[in-house]
Amino acid sequence: MNSRQQDFPESLLSRLRWRQRWGNQVPGDHPSLRTGEGGDFAGHRRWQSGEDLQHLDLHVWQRLRQRWIREYRQEADEPLHVILDSAPSLVFGERATALQILRTLLKGVAKKSRVPHREWIIRGKSLETLNPSTLQDPPERVSLSEILPYFPRSLSQGRVIIISDRLTFDELSDWSGSIPIRYLQWWSLLLEEESNPEWTGDLQLTEPGGKFWKSYFNPSLLQQYQQLYRYQFRILQDWLQSRGGFHLKVTAVSSAAHILGELTGSRGPMEVVSG
Protein backbone atom coordinates (compact mmCIF):
# COMPACT_ATOMS: atom_id res chain seq x y z
CA MET A 1 0.00 0.00 0.00
CA ASN A 2 1.19 3.47 -0.78
CA SER A 3 1.97 5.85 2.03
CA ARG A 4 -0.81 8.29 2.81
CA GLN A 5 1.43 10.73 4.62
CA GLN A 6 0.31 13.44 2.18
CA ASP A 7 -3.15 13.26 3.78
CA PHE A 8 -1.68 14.51 7.07
CA PRO A 9 0.48 17.61 6.58
CA GLU A 10 3.16 18.44 9.13
CA SER A 11 1.18 21.48 10.26
CA LEU A 12 -1.72 19.21 11.26
CA LEU A 13 0.34 16.50 12.92
CA SER A 14 2.07 19.08 15.10
CA ARG A 15 -1.33 20.24 16.39
CA LEU A 16 -2.78 16.83 17.22
CA ARG A 17 -2.61 15.59 20.79
CA TRP A 18 -4.37 13.10 23.01
CA ARG A 19 -7.47 14.47 24.68
CA GLN A 20 -7.21 15.18 28.39
CA ARG A 21 -8.86 12.78 30.82
CA TRP A 22 -11.21 13.97 33.54
CA GLY A 23 -11.79 11.03 35.84
CA ASN A 24 -12.29 8.01 33.54
CA GLN A 25 -14.77 9.65 31.23
CA VAL A 26 -12.53 11.00 28.48
CA PRO A 27 -9.65 9.06 26.92
CA GLY A 28 -6.03 10.03 26.71
CA ASP A 29 -4.67 10.71 30.19
CA HIS A 30 -1.03 11.54 29.74
CA PRO A 31 1.32 11.73 32.73
CA SER A 32 4.07 13.45 30.75
CA LEU A 33 2.06 16.59 30.07
CA ARG A 34 3.36 19.17 32.55
CA THR A 35 2.27 22.63 33.61
CA GLY A 36 4.67 25.54 33.73
CA GLU A 37 7.77 23.50 32.83
CA GLY A 38 10.22 23.21 29.95
CA GLY A 39 9.49 21.30 26.76
CA ASP A 40 7.29 21.88 23.71
CA PHE A 41 4.28 24.11 24.26
CA ALA A 42 1.17 21.87 23.97
CA GLY A 43 -1.62 24.41 24.49
CA HIS A 44 -3.80 25.94 27.20
CA ARG A 45 -6.38 24.52 29.56
CA ARG A 46 -8.63 26.24 32.06
CA TRP A 47 -7.35 26.65 35.60
CA GLN A 48 -9.14 24.40 38.08
CA SER A 49 -9.99 25.43 41.63
CA GLY A 50 -7.20 24.45 44.03
CA GLU A 51 -4.39 24.47 41.46
CA ASP A 52 -1.24 26.50 42.03
CA LEU A 53 -1.67 30.04 40.70
CA GLN A 54 1.99 30.27 39.75
CA HIS A 55 1.28 28.24 36.60
CA LEU A 56 -1.24 30.76 35.25
CA ASP A 57 -0.49 32.33 31.87
CA LEU A 58 -0.15 35.96 32.98
CA HIS A 59 -0.42 37.30 29.44
CA VAL A 60 -3.88 35.74 29.08
CA TRP A 61 -4.86 37.01 32.53
CA GLN A 62 -3.78 40.57 31.77
CA ARG A 63 -5.47 40.58 28.39
CA LEU A 64 -8.71 38.68 29.07
CA ARG A 65 -8.91 38.39 32.86
CA GLN A 66 -9.34 34.65 32.44
CA ARG A 67 -7.39 31.94 34.26
CA TRP A 68 -5.63 29.62 31.83
CA ILE A 69 -2.63 27.35 32.37
CA ARG A 70 0.09 26.72 29.81
CA GLU A 71 0.95 23.05 29.28
CA TYR A 72 4.15 21.59 27.89
CA ARG A 73 4.89 18.21 26.41
CA GLN A 74 8.10 16.60 27.57
CA GLU A 75 10.59 15.02 25.20
CA ALA A 76 11.01 12.01 27.50
CA ASP A 77 7.46 10.80 26.86
CA GLU A 78 5.89 7.38 27.17
CA PRO A 79 5.81 5.08 24.13
CA LEU A 80 2.86 4.41 21.85
CA HIS A 81 2.13 0.72 21.21
CA VAL A 82 -0.19 -0.10 18.28
CA ILE A 83 -1.43 -3.72 18.30
CA LEU A 84 -3.18 -5.20 15.26
CA ASP A 85 -5.68 -7.94 16.07
CA SER A 86 -4.63 -10.37 13.36
CA ALA A 87 -7.10 -11.87 10.93
CA PRO A 88 -7.42 -11.93 7.12
CA SER A 89 -10.58 -9.83 7.48
CA LEU A 90 -8.52 -6.98 8.97
CA VAL A 91 -7.10 -6.24 5.52
CA PHE A 92 -10.26 -6.94 3.52
CA GLY A 93 -11.64 -4.33 1.13
CA GLU A 94 -11.75 -0.72 2.31
CA ARG A 95 -10.64 -1.86 5.76
CA ALA A 96 -7.11 -2.34 4.40
CA THR A 97 -6.97 1.30 3.27
CA ALA A 98 -8.50 2.56 6.51
CA LEU A 99 -5.99 0.56 8.52
CA GLN A 100 -3.12 2.11 6.59
CA ILE A 101 -4.56 5.59 7.26
CA LEU A 102 -4.72 4.88 10.99
CA ARG A 103 -1.18 3.49 11.07
CA THR A 104 0.19 6.49 9.16
CA LEU A 105 -1.61 8.93 11.42
CA LEU A 106 -0.48 7.29 14.66
CA LYS A 107 3.11 7.05 13.44
CA GLY A 108 3.04 10.72 12.46
CA VAL A 109 1.61 11.85 15.80
CA ALA A 110 4.23 9.84 17.70
CA LYS A 111 7.01 11.32 15.56
CA LYS A 112 5.84 14.90 16.06
CA SER A 113 5.48 14.29 19.80
CA ARG A 114 8.93 12.65 19.85
CA VAL A 115 7.66 9.51 21.58
CA PRO A 116 8.74 5.93 20.82
CA HIS A 117 6.34 4.16 18.45
CA ARG A 118 6.03 0.39 18.08
CA GLU A 119 3.67 -1.72 15.99
CA TRP A 120 2.73 -5.27 16.97
CA ILE A 121 0.55 -8.03 15.57
CA ILE A 122 -1.04 -10.85 17.55
CA ARG A 123 0.24 -14.28 16.54
CA GLY A 124 -1.08 -17.15 18.63
CA LYS A 125 -0.35 -16.47 22.29
CA SER A 126 2.30 -13.84 21.64
CA LEU A 127 2.87 -10.41 20.17
CA GLU A 128 5.28 -10.06 17.28
CA THR A 129 6.80 -6.92 15.82
CA LEU A 130 4.78 -6.03 12.73
CA ASN A 131 6.46 -6.26 9.35
CA PRO A 132 5.00 -5.75 5.84
CA SER A 133 4.96 -9.45 4.97
CA THR A 134 2.98 -10.33 8.10
CA LEU A 135 0.34 -7.75 7.28
CA GLN A 136 -0.02 -9.05 3.72
CA ASP A 137 -0.74 -12.52 5.06
CA PRO A 138 -1.99 -12.04 8.64
CA PRO A 139 -2.26 -15.10 10.91
CA GLU A 140 -5.60 -16.49 12.01
CA ARG A 141 -7.23 -14.94 15.04
CA VAL A 142 -7.18 -16.45 18.53
CA SER A 143 -9.65 -15.83 21.34
CA LEU A 144 -9.02 -12.88 23.63
CA SER A 145 -8.81 -15.12 26.68
CA GLU A 146 -5.86 -16.89 25.00
CA ILE A 147 -3.81 -13.78 24.22
CA LEU A 148 -4.58 -11.15 26.89
CA PRO A 149 -2.79 -12.98 29.76
CA TYR A 150 0.35 -13.19 27.62
CA PHE A 151 0.72 -9.50 26.81
CA PRO A 152 4.32 -8.51 27.73
CA ARG A 153 5.01 -6.40 30.80
CA SER A 154 6.64 -3.79 28.59
CA LEU A 155 3.14 -2.60 27.64
CA SER A 156 2.67 -1.28 31.17
CA GLN A 157 4.69 1.77 30.13
CA GLY A 158 2.89 3.88 27.59
CA ARG A 159 -0.35 4.04 25.66
CA VAL A 160 -1.70 0.89 24.00
CA ILE A 161 -4.12 0.95 21.06
CA ILE A 162 -5.64 -2.31 19.81
CA ILE A 163 -7.04 -2.04 16.29
CA SER A 164 -9.51 -4.84 15.64
CA ASP A 165 -12.52 -5.86 13.57
CA ARG A 166 -13.88 -8.41 16.06
CA LEU A 167 -17.64 -8.59 16.41
CA THR A 168 -17.97 -11.03 19.33
CA PHE A 169 -16.62 -10.66 22.87
CA ASP A 170 -18.42 -13.38 24.86
CA GLU A 171 -15.20 -14.60 26.49
CA LEU A 172 -14.74 -11.21 28.18
CA SER A 173 -18.06 -11.40 30.05
CA ASP A 174 -16.65 -13.93 32.53
CA TRP A 175 -12.95 -13.17 32.22
CA SER A 176 -11.48 -11.52 35.31
CA GLY A 177 -7.76 -11.77 34.57
CA SER A 178 -5.42 -8.78 34.67
CA ILE A 179 -3.47 -7.27 31.81
CA PRO A 180 -0.28 -5.18 32.10
CA ILE A 181 -1.78 -2.10 30.46
CA ARG A 182 -2.55 1.23 32.09
CA TYR A 183 -3.95 3.22 29.16
CA LEU A 184 -5.79 0.84 26.84
CA GLN A 185 -7.78 2.03 23.86
CA TRP A 186 -9.71 -0.43 21.70
CA TRP A 187 -10.43 0.87 18.21
CA SER A 188 -13.06 -1.17 16.32
CA LEU A 189 -12.37 -0.76 12.60
CA LEU A 190 -15.69 -1.79 11.08
CA LEU A 191 -17.22 -1.67 7.64
CA GLU A 192 -20.44 0.30 7.36
CA GLU A 193 -22.44 -2.87 6.70
CA GLU A 194 -21.07 -4.38 9.93
CA SER A 195 -21.84 -1.47 12.25
CA ASN A 196 -24.97 -0.13 10.56
CA PRO A 197 -26.46 -2.69 8.13
CA GLU A 198 -29.57 -1.67 6.23
CA TRP A 199 -29.80 -4.19 3.42
CA THR A 200 -32.89 -6.38 3.13
CA GLY A 201 -34.24 -8.33 0.20
CA ASP A 202 -32.56 -10.47 -2.45
CA LEU A 203 -28.89 -11.22 -1.90
CA GLN A 204 -26.27 -12.75 -4.19
CA LEU A 205 -22.83 -13.87 -3.00
CA THR A 206 -20.19 -14.46 -5.68
CA GLU A 207 -16.86 -16.27 -5.36
CA PRO A 208 -13.78 -14.94 -7.21
CA GLY A 209 -14.02 -18.02 -9.44
CA GLY A 210 -17.54 -17.19 -10.51
CA LYS A 211 -19.60 -19.52 -8.32
CA PHE A 212 -22.49 -17.72 -6.64
CA TRP A 213 -25.34 -18.22 -4.20
CA LYS A 214 -28.67 -16.46 -4.08
CA SER A 215 -30.65 -15.88 -0.92
CA TYR A 216 -33.13 -13.53 0.71
CA PHE A 217 -32.28 -11.33 3.68
CA ASN A 218 -35.31 -11.14 5.95
CA PRO A 219 -35.84 -7.84 7.85
CA SER A 220 -36.33 -9.83 11.06
CA LEU A 221 -32.80 -11.23 10.66
CA LEU A 222 -31.48 -7.69 10.37
CA GLN A 223 -33.18 -6.78 13.64
CA GLN A 224 -31.69 -9.85 15.35
CA TYR A 225 -28.23 -8.92 14.09
CA GLN A 226 -28.53 -5.35 15.37
CA GLN A 227 -29.60 -6.60 18.82
CA LEU A 228 -26.70 -9.09 18.95
CA TYR A 229 -24.28 -6.40 17.73
CA ARG A 230 -25.29 -3.99 20.51
CA TYR A 231 -25.08 -6.79 23.11
CA GLN A 232 -21.58 -7.87 22.06
CA PHE A 233 -20.17 -4.35 22.11
CA ARG A 234 -21.75 -3.70 25.49
CA ILE A 235 -19.66 -6.61 26.79
CA LEU A 236 -16.49 -5.04 25.37
CA GLN A 237 -17.31 -1.55 26.64
CA ASP A 238 -18.15 -2.78 30.14
CA TRP A 239 -14.90 -4.76 30.25
CA LEU A 240 -12.86 -1.74 29.12
CA GLN A 241 -14.59 0.62 31.53
CA SER A 242 -13.83 -1.69 34.47
CA ARG A 243 -10.14 -1.29 33.60
CA GLY A 244 -10.17 2.42 32.86
CA GLY A 245 -10.01 1.76 29.13
CA PHE A 246 -11.72 3.42 26.20
CA HIS A 247 -13.61 2.18 23.12
CA LEU A 248 -13.85 3.88 19.75
CA LYS A 249 -15.67 2.77 16.61
CA VAL A 250 -13.91 3.81 13.41
CA THR A 251 -15.69 3.44 10.07
CA ALA A 252 -13.56 1.55 7.55
CA VAL A 253 -13.59 3.98 4.63
CA SER A 254 -10.86 5.21 2.30
CA SER A 255 -11.30 8.86 3.32
CA ALA A 256 -8.53 10.11 5.62
CA ALA A 257 -10.58 13.24 6.38
CA HIS A 258 -13.56 11.15 7.54
CA ILE A 259 -11.39 8.95 9.78
CA LEU A 260 -9.61 11.96 11.25
CA GLY A 261 -13.01 13.50 11.99
CA GLU A 262 -14.04 10.41 13.95
CA LEU A 263 -10.79 10.46 15.94
CA THR A 264 -11.10 14.15 16.83
CA GLY A 265 -14.88 14.39 17.25
CA SER A 266 -16.51 15.22 20.57
CA ARG A 267 -16.06 11.63 21.80
CA GLY A 268 -12.80 10.93 20.00
CA PRO A 269 -9.49 10.20 21.74
CA MET A 270 -7.62 13.05 20.03
CA GLU A 271 -8.04 16.78 19.58
CA VAL A 272 -6.64 19.51 17.37
CA VAL A 273 -5.11 22.37 19.35
CA SER A 274 -4.87 25.90 18.01
CA GLY A 275 -1.50 26.82 16.62
Give 187-246 as a 3 state SS string: EEEECHHHHCCCCCEEEEEECCCCCEEEEEECHHHHHHHHHHHHHHHHHHHHHHHHCCCE
pLDDT of residue 26: 42
Per-residue pLDDT tens for 91-124?
A: 888 999 999 999 999 999 999 888 999 999 998 8
Smallest Cα–Cα separation from 75: which of 115, 131, 35? 115
Using pLDDT thresholds of 50, 70 and 90, give the confidence band for residue 72.
low
Per-residue pLDDT tens for 183-223?
A: 899 999 999 989 888 777 787 777 777 788 787 778 888 88
Query: Higher-confidence residue: 1 or 120?
Result: 120
Identify any residues that bridge with 129 across adjacent strands, giving them in sequence order. Answer: 120
Per-residue pLDDT tens for 30-60?
A: 444 444 444 556 667 777 666 667 677 888 7
Q: What is the residue-averaged pLDDT of the chain?
A: 82
pLDDT of residue 22: 36
Identify any residues that bridge with 212 across adjacent strands, giving them in sequence order. Answer: 206
Per-residue pLDDT tens for 229-240?
A: 999 999 999 999
Q: Residue 29: how many CB atoms within 10 A of its CB?
A: 18
Using pLDDT thresholds of 50, 70 and 90, give the confidence band for residue 20.
low
Separation in Å, CA 99 to CA 178, 182, 255: 28, 24, 11
